[in-house]
Amino acid sequence: MNPDARIFHQEGMSDAIVGNYDAAEFYILKSLEIEASVPGYATLGWLYSCVQRRDADALRCFRKAIRLNPRNGDLYNDCGAVLLRMGKLQESVKWFLRALKSEEGSKHHLALFNLAIVYRRWNRPERSRRYLNLAVKLRPDFERARSLLAEIRTESQTVN
């Protein structure tokens, strides 16, 4: 990353960490004016998605980051998560599957977890359990997956 862009990106990250999101957005945008980068677009996408709930803007940022590095599966998972929150389940599944097929990334367990959520909403508990078991196998300490798995098992036992 260009040294000037890196300085602005780091300033934006520092502001985001302390909750100064307007300043964080300003500095990340300044960084991107200097040089388009995966960290810049990914951070801005996170800011738009998780903090400001500007889902369309978040998707645009994640897609720009993917164009810069199409091997990064974490970005595909991020797109899918935004689409999942928007209720676009079918479209989100495509992104989660892309995340799982990616060469790079550290969030495969999250893509599996998100797929489990989709299948739960579609009333497919067996598929949901399958993805949760895979997520827990990847990350045994993944408590949210363990908790959802237990919840789905309890629901299945109640129905039978």
Q: Which domains does the chain have, with CATH numbers?
A: 1-69 (1.25.40.10), 88-160 (1.25.40.10)
pLDDT of residue 158 exceeding 80: no
Question: Which range, of 60-69, 85-94, 96-105, averages the lowest pLDDT?
Answer: 96-105
Provide the pLDDT confidence category of residue 105 given band limits of 50, 70 and 90. confident
Predicted confidence at residue 159, as pLDDT, reads: 63
pLDDT in tens, 57-77: 999 999 999 999 999 999 999
Question: What pLDDT is attached to residue 160?
Answer: 57
Asked whether residue 1 carries a pLDDT value surpassing 90, the answer given is no
Segment 92-121 shows an average pLDDT of 95
pTM: 0.90
Q: Is the pLDDT higher at 158 or at 114? A: 114
Q: pLDDT class for 96, splitting at 50, 70, 90? A: very high
Average pLDDT (24-45) is 97
Query: Is residue 59 a contact partner of residue 77, using CB atoms and an 8 Å limit?
Result: no
